[in-house]
Structure 1
C-alpha cells in the first residue's frame, strides 16, 4: 500500500481564497509529496527542491503580512495547510512549521528597515530557516542557555553550541538566542545569523528513530560575527521573543500531529475495509470498528482544539494556555492513533511495506519538540493554580 495524502476533510474556511489555497496544497501533496515519502524517508533525503517550490507558491510565508512578502492568511488557515502537508509527509509539514518559527522574531520584533531588507527573501525567496534555542545542557530549561554574544563595536561575537536544530547545517539563516547579559531569562538576546557565516559549523546529523529525511544537528558557533543590525529586538528581550515564537510554534506542531494522525487513520480504514477474514471484511468486527471510532474521535477532537486556539490568536486574544493544551492533546492523540493503526494492520503494520510503522516512529518526536508534553502540563497547571511554590 503506497503513501498518499489523506481524504479531503471539509472545514469552515474564512474565504474562497482560503478554500483555493487548501485545494492547491492538497494537489501538491498528492502529486509531489506523498508518492515519494516512504522512499525518501528511508534514504534520509531532505526534499530541498520541494521547499523551493513551496516558497515560490507562497506557502512559506502564509501567516505574515503582505507588506513583508507574506500571504496575509490567518493562523487558522495556515495551520490547516500544515496539517495537509504533514499528512503527506511529516518532514515537510514540520519543516514548514520550523521555517515559520524562524521568521517570527524578525517579523514580530524587527525594525521596519530590518524587515524590509530581509523578510521578503525569507518568506518567498527560496530560503530555508532554522530556530536555535536548545543547547546540550539547556533543553526544557531554556533560560539557562550558555551560548554567548559579546559586543565588539558595531558587531556581536557569538560563541557556543546549539543542539537539536531542525535543518541544522542546511538552513540559509538561523534565529539564534544567545546570552548577552547576566544569568536567567533577562540576559538573552535574539540574532539573525546567516547560514554561511564564518565560524558556524554543523555536526554530523543525529541518527533518529524517525523523520530520517529531516536533518537534526548540533551547531557550533566559534566566534561568529554578526552586525548589530542583525540583532532582533532590544538587548535582553530575547527570552520573551522566544516564548512568543514557541506559543505559535506549538500550534504548528499540533496541526502536524493531527495531519499525521489523519494519515494513520486513513491507512487503517483502507486496510480494514479492504481485507477479509472469516469470509467478511475485518472492518465488520466490532473490536476493530470501535478502535477506528476512537481513532477518528481523537483526530477530530485534536483538530477542533488547535483551530479554537488559532482563532484566539487571530482575534488578538491570549492563547498561550490553549496552545499548550493543543500541543499536548494533539501529539498524545497522534501517538495513540498511530499505535492503534499498527494494531489494525496486524503483522503488516509492523513491516516497512506499509506506512503505519513509519507513522508510529514519527509520532513520538512530536511529544518532545518545542517543549515536551510534561512542560505543556506545567504551563497549563500554572494558568490554573499559579506558579509552583518553592
Structure 2
C-alpha cells in the first residue's frame, strides 16, 4: 500500500480520522480479495452491506436520508484510499458520488426517503445507465425511449458499459421522453431492477477492471410510475431536464476520475520504489542506476504537480465553484499523466511488470480506460476549447 498522502489545504482533523477508517476498511475488505474478485468478474455483494455498517456509503448525503452528512471531501478520501489499496472493482464512486447525488439534487422528498436510506445501508446498489451501444459520449442521441401511457412510462432500449450493472438494485436511466426535442427531450427515470421488463446482459470482458461488474442492461416494455421521473421545479419531475441534470453532475463525476488517477500515480510510484530497492541487477540495486532514479524522480514530480491542481479543483468544488471546463481539465490531464506514469513504472519492473500477479500490471491495465470513460479526453479538450 502507498504511504499516506501529504496534508492538503482542504484536509481537517475530522477528515484525517476518517482517512484512518477508510484505510483500515480498504486494507481488510478490499486488498485481500483482488484475485478472487477478478476471477468472478465482480466483488462480493456482501461488501456493500459491510460498507454500510461502518458508514462508508452515501457519505455526503444528509443524515435525514440515512447518509453520513459529510462533504465531497469525505468522498475524495475514500476514493483515494480505495485506489491506493489496489482495488478497482468496487463501484462505490458511482454509487456514492453519482447516483446518490442525482437523487439528492433532483429527487423530491418521497423519492429520497424511498431510496437513499437503502443505498446508505447497502441494501440497494446504485447504477446510472447513460452509454448505449451506438452512442458512446454522444448523450444527446440516446435511443432508449420512455413513452408515457397514463401514469406510467414504458421504457424500451439497451445500455452498455454500466458499472455496478450486475448488482444494481436501482438504475438511473437516461432516456428520451420526447425524441423530437433532441437534448431537451432527455429525462432521468429511476428503475428498480426487480421491475418486469428489466433484463441484465453479460458482465463484459474488459482489458482491465476485471473485478468490476460492468454490464449490459436491457429494457423491454418496462413500466414504471411517472413518479419515478427525477427533477423539475420543487422536485415535481418535469420532463426534458435530463440533459441539464447530466451536465450539472458531470463535473463531480470527472473530478472523481481525477482523484483516482492521482492516487494511482502515488501507489505506482511507491510500489516501484519498493521493488527497485529490493531487486538487484548487475550487482547492485535497480534503484541505484541513474536511469531508475531519474525515471522515478520524473514520475513523482508528475504525481505531485497533478495533485496540486486536483486539490485546487477539490477546494473549488467544496465551495460550489468548480465549472465544467475546470473539471474537464482535471480529468484529461490527470488521466493522461497517470497512464504515462504507470507505463514508466511498469517498465522498471522488467518482465515481471507484465505478469498479472504483480500489482503494477493490474494498475497499468486498469488505468487505460480512464482516458475514455466520463467522456473521452478528446471530448474534454473540445469542452475546454469552447471557452478559449
TM-score by length of structure 1 reads: 0.93
Superimposed CA distance per residue, residues 305-335 of structure 1 (whole angstroms, 9 cap, x where no aligned partner) = 2221121121122422221111111111221
Within 5 A, what are the aligned runs for 1:255-334? 255-334=259-338
Tell me the C-alpha RMSD between the 2 structures: 1.6
Find the partner of 2:193 among 188, 192, 195. 195
Q: Which residue of 1 aligns with 2:109?
A: 112
Q: Which residue of 2 aligns with 1:387?
A: none
Q: Which residue of 2 aligns with 1:123?
A: 120
Please give the alpha-carbon distance, in whole angstroms, between the structure 1 residues aligned to 2:76 and 2:322.
Answer: 18
Q: Secondary structure at the match of 1:369?
A: coil
Please give the alpha-carbon distance, in whole angstroms, between the structure 2 residues aligned to 1:198 and 1:115.
Answer: 23
Flag the 1:348–1:99 CA change in 2: closer, same or farther, 3 A: same
Flag the 1:297–1:126 CA change in 2: closer, same or farther, 3 A: farther
Q: Which residue of 1 aligns with 2:146?
A: 149
Q: Secondary structure at the match of 2:172?
A: strand
Flag the 1:255–1:243 CA change in 2: closer, same or farther, 3 A: same
Superimposed CA distance per residue, residues 173-209 of structure 1 (whole angstroms, 9 cap, x where no aligned partner) = 0011110112411001111110111101011121111
Q: Secondary structure at the match of 2:134?
A: coil
Q: Which residue of 2 aligns with 1:208?
A: 206
TM-aligned CA deviation for residue 125 of structure 1? 4.1
Flag the 1:61–1:14 CA change in 2: closer, same or farther, 3 A: same
Within 5 A, what are the aligned runs for 1:1-390? 5-12=1-8, 13-92=10-89, 95-100=91-96, 101-181=98-178, 182-233=180-231, 234-384=238-388
Please give the alpha-carbon distance, in whole angstroms, between the structure 1 residues aligned to 2:343 and 2:198.
Answer: 40
Residue pair 2:15, 2:73 contacting (<8 A) in 1 also: no
TM-aligned CA deviation for residue 43 of structure 1? 4.3
Please give the alpha-carbon distance, in whole angstroms, between the structure 2 residues aligned to 1:43 and 1:125.
Answer: 20
Please give the alpha-carbon distance, in whole angstroms, between the structure 1 residues aligned to 2:371 and 2:273.
Answer: 24
Q: Secondary structure at the match of 1:138?
A: coil
**5+ residue gaps, structure 1:** 385-390
TM-aligned CA deviation for residue 356 of structure 1? 1.3
- Between Structure 1 and Structure 2, how many residues are aligned? 379
TM-aligned CA deviation for residue 63 of structure 1? 2.0
Please give the alpha-carbon distance, in whole angstroms, between the structure 1 residues aligned to 2:36 and 2:266.
Answer: 20
Please give the alpha-carbon distance, in whole angstroms, between the structure 2 residues aligned to 1:378 and 1:335.
Answer: 20
Superimposed CA distance per residue, residues 56-84 of structure 1 (whole angstroms, 9 cap, x where no aligned partner) = 22212112222322222222332122011
Please give the alpha-carbon distance, in whole angstroms, between the structure 1 residues aligned to 2:310 and 2:193.
Answer: 32
Please give the alpha-carbon distance, in whole angstroms, between the structure 1 residues aligned to 2:46 and 2:154.
Answer: 33
**Mean Cα deviation higher: 118-127 or 77-86:** 118-127
